[in-house]
Amino acid sequence: MDCFAELEQATRAERTRLLSAPIIAGAFGGRVSRAQYLAFLTQAYHHVRHTVPLLMSCCGRLPARLEWLRDATAHYIDEELGHQEWILNDIAATGGDAEVVRHGQPAFETELMVAYAYDTVQRGNPVGFFGMVYVLESTSVALASQLASTLGPALDLPPRAFSYLSSHGSLDVSHMEHFRALVNRLDEPADKAALLHAANRFFRLYGDLIRSLPTGDAA
């Protein structure tokens, strides 16, 4: 079994737990409010704004034997620059206050996930950070494009309110193919173990973030 297949198998339970969150089923059924969508975008902003700093930190912590992974990570940084601003634009198009979000604080669950990501890079094996990449991008592939097409009519919002979801649904498909090729090059057992461990933790942490979003019918 290659590393990517092992990763999928090892995280199946936590991935299923995340995808079974009631708010996800509600969103696919069009049973979601603007307040709930804004809550999602707010927390997305507060973790996405750390993506590039985390990638940069990961680059600096990777050992020389993983120079090929450092090169790939540097390329990934270029593709991720500015994505937090897309989210702020979506917030404004949805009727929210983007500047309040920019200067606000994340929810506890979001803060904990981000803190764990920094800890993984700085204190643990930096390869573990790619567990977070896997969780966010595989979840995006599974949900983002479909949710964008469902939520637009349900919330009576224009396409420009869904730039983050729409772009990541398609972008992350190509990212996942690249990711698969990268992790299948890992040959050190310790690196593979760090990746699998962190991916399970990030599925749990991101699942907690999703479950922390409001589930009522606020307008």
Distance CA 155, CA 153 (A): 6
At position 2, the amino acid (one-letter code) is D
Phi/psi of residue 186, nearest 5 degrees: -65, 130
Angle at 195 between CA 194 and CA 199, to 5 degrees: 115
Res. 218: pLDDT tops 80 = no
Residue 44 CA: distances (Å) to CA of 40, 61, 133: 6, 25, 14
pLDDT, tens digit (0-9, with 9 covering 90-100), for 19-59: 899 888 888 888 889 999 999 999 999 999 999 999 999 99
Is a pLDDT exceeding 90 seen at residue 76? no
**Structure tokens, 205:** 């942490």
CA angle 61, 173, 79 (to 5 degrees): 45
Distance of CA 183 to the CA centre of its chain: 18
- The number of residues in the chain equals 219
pLDDT tens across 113-152, in order? 999 999 999 999 999 999 999 999 888 876 877 787 788 8
Please check the confidence at residue 170 and state whether its pLDDT lies above 60: no
Tell me, which fold does domain 3-212 have in CATH? Heme Oxygenase; Chain A (1.20.910)
pTM of the model: 0.92
> pLDDT-based confidence at 173, cuts 50/70/90?
low
Residue 2 · residue 192 · CB < 8 Å: no
Residues 208 and 219: their CA atoms lie apart, in Å, by 23
Per-residue confidence (pLDDT) for residue 174, from 0 to 100: 67
Contact 201, 17 (CB under 8 A): no
Query: Using CA atoms, how far apart are residues 140 and 154, in angstroms rounded to an integer?
Result: 20
Supply the mean pLDDT for the chain.
91
Whether 39 and 213 have beta carbons less than 8 Å apart is answered as: yes
**Residue type present at position 107:** A
Sign of the torsion angle spanned by Cα atoms 110, 112, 114, 120: negative
